[in-house]
Amino acid sequence: IKLQISSRNLDRVRKLKSAMTRLTARVQKVRDELEQLLDDDDDMADLYLSRKAGSASPVSGSGPANWFAGSPTIGSKISRASRASIATVRFDENDVEELEMLLEAYFMQIDGTLNKLTTVSVISI
């Protein structure tokens, strides 16, 4: 096999390697966040939005549509601690089991992707 080494091809390889490094870092970050989320039961309970919507009482009187933890208006009125206490009061492990299984499946996919990227990176050195 004849290798054509040129500045154009070297530039292509450099760009591909740089893109792969950025992708690997992003995948690693997603994997780490999923792992941290799966390890924290309180965060898992906070993610069960159906329960939150069903148990929420309107804060501003404008209805349940305003009940979102990420909303700037609600977020400023209700502290994270009080949101956590609401979630803890009604916390039932069976409620979040399906969510946990879904996140674990995502984690497995992300972990597999990270392993493949790492393998390609090692081979391409």
Poorest-confidence range of 7-16, 46-55, 71-80, 99-108?
A: 71-80
User: Is the distance from CB of 67 to CB of 56 less than 8 angstroms?
Assistant: yes
How far is it, in rounded angstroms, from Cα 43 to Cα 108?
19
Query: The domain containing residue 100 runs over which residues?
Result: 7-123
Judge whether residue 81 has pLDDT over 90. no
Report yes or no on 2 lying in a domain.
no
Rounded to 5 degrees, what angle do the CA atoms 82, 58, 69 make? Answer: 45
Q: Is the pTM of this model over 0.75?
A: no
**Is the confidence at residue 123, as pLDDT, over 80?**
yes
Could you count the other beta carbons within 10 Å of the beta carbon of residue 119?
10
Distance CA 101, CA 83 (A): 24
Domain count, the chain: 1
